[in-house]
Chains A and B, each alone.
Chain A
Amino acid sequence: MAEFPQITDTTFEKEVLQSELPVLVDFWAPWCGPCKMVTPILEELAGEYGGRLKVAKLNVDDNPGTAAKYGIFSIPSILLFKEGQVATQIVGAVPKKHFVEKLDPLL
């Protein structure tokens, strides 16, 4: 199982906003069951889009600043950041197909 890089309030600017590659950030928390549902899908995406996309996680419990900044009120929320901007957002546990449909045109 791939270990995703963990983004924090401190590293967000550098790791996500200034990243060369687009970054898919999974806003999650340990108490959220459905967050576990998307992990295997993110692992597959990380493999399939390797080199074109970075996949990372942000624990909203430990990093409330970034979660609040992006108005996260529901998790899992998966946001695609391109050149420092939110390019698309997926809320809730949805099948892989939905991710691919949203990501393909943007990558």
Chain B
Amino acid sequence: MEKHDVIIVGGGPAGLTAGLYAARSRMDILLLEKLTPGGQVLTTAMVENYPGFEEAISGSDLVAKMEKQARGFGLQVEIKSVEKIAQEGSLKKMIADGEEYLSKAVIVATGVEPKLLGIPGEKELRGKGVSYCATCDGPFFRDKEVVVIGGGDSAVEEAIYLTRFAKRVRLIHRRDQLRAAKIVQERAFSNEKVEVVWDTVATRINGEQFVQSVDVKNVKTGREDNVETSGIFLYVGVKPNSDLFDFKIDADQRGFLRTDENMRTSVEGIYAVGDVRSKQLRQIVTATGEGATAAFAVQKYLEDLTP
């Protein structure tokens, strides 16, 4: 069984920055990542609000830099999916792809994943027109009609991105105003290809082999409609990847982990950083700040353990 002082679970911006700081303070540290380091940023076409990059940088370039920087200071990464985190005496035990890892402290940086809308046709037509990643699948919809569902930053930004390919992008939102940042809204409103459909929810996705249309309903008037489309991109919120613990840990009602200002959870030795944490602003810049904060707090914690 492998043993380390600190194990970081998840290699998005939060985990990579915790790794960078921990590696620089020469802690004995390992990062476990279930896919490949990068997290959600790999699905982001362009990032234009991470300080230091005055020209927008592609998400995959940005995290590639973060990974390289952390590895440059000695961060070790293993491709392993953590299934469970348990207590083992004074240590934490992680089970990942059948192997066990022990550590004195754990930094949970598992992020979030997209919520499913849960309407008929969504699962059946996934990969056949239903998508959760505009940067991956946008180019398949050249000169076609697409629908984006949602009203937050991701939904509106990705709707604008899709206008590079699609003939028209309908943004279907259940309220009468968007939640996205104002500058992003302004861009959407001034883009001729984007049409916002207000107060409307999707109720069913139709199609035999491929998506053909979506049934929608106006929540104010009750009027039902059918919108023809080849693609449906869903950005209807996220859920935390926090379903890992073999013990009780404090979380908010949606499952996001609660911490103090030093990223300590309710369980000694367990820290949470980035999107998985209960907070208001889920962005790369907050994720990296929290990663650094946790690495520093863990360092203090380990020093106090060994007088």
Which A residues are within 8 Å of any B CB, using their own CB? 29, 31-41, 44, 61, 71-77, 89, 91-93, 95-97
Known: A73-B129, A92-B127. A36 touches B135 (CB 8 A): no
Tell me the nearest residue of chain B to A28, going by C-beta. Answer: B136
Q: A75 contacts which of B34, B60, B79, B136 (Cβ < 8 Å)?
A: B136
A91 to B137, CA, bound (A): 11
A34 to B137, CA, bound (A): 11
Measured between C-beta atoms, what is the minimum distance from A78 to chain B in Å?
11
A37 to B12, CA, bound (A): 12
Tell me the nearest residue of chain B to A75, going by C-beta. Answer: B136
Q: A33 contacts which of B129, B131, B136, B209 (Cβ < 8 Å)?
A: B136
A93 to B43, CA, bound (A): 11
Tell me the nearest residue of chain B to A76, going by C-beta. Answer: B136
User: Does B231 sit within 8 A of A, measured CB to CB?
Assistant: yes
Taking a contact as CB atoms under 8 Å apart, the answer to whether A74 and B126 are in contact is yes
| 7 residue pairs, one from A and one from B, having the closest CB atoms | A33-B42, A91-B127, A37-B35, A74-B127, A95-B81, A33-B60, A32-B136
A93 to B137, CA, bound (A): 13
Known: A73-B140, A74-B136. A36 touches B210 (CB 8 A): no
Interface residues of B in 115-143 (CB under 8 A from A): 126-133, 135-137, 139-141
Known: A33-B42, A37-B36, A40-B36. A73 touches B127 (CB 8 A): yes
Q: B128 contacts which of A32, A39, A73 (Cβ < 8 Å)?
A: A73
Taking a contact as CB atoms under 8 Å apart, the answer to whether A29 and B139 are in contact is yes
User: Does B229 sit within 8 A of A, measured CB to CB?
Assistant: no
A43 to B155, CA, bound (A): 33
A39 to B34, CA, bound (A): 12
Known: A32-B135, A44-B79, A73-B231. A37 touches B127 (CB 8 A): no
Q: A39 contacts which of B36, B44, B97, B209 (Cβ < 8 Å)?
A: B36
Q: Which residues in A have their C-beta under 8 angstroms from that of B137?
A: 73-75
Q: What would 23 A/B residue contacts be, using CB atoms closer than 8 Å?
A: A29-B139, A31-B135, A32-B136, A33-B44, A33-B59, A33-B135, A34-B42, A35-B136, A36-B60, A37-B36, A40-B36, A41-B35, A44-B79, A71-B209, A73-B140, A74-B130, A74-B131, A74-B133, A74-B137, A75-B136, A77-B127, A95-B35, A97-B81
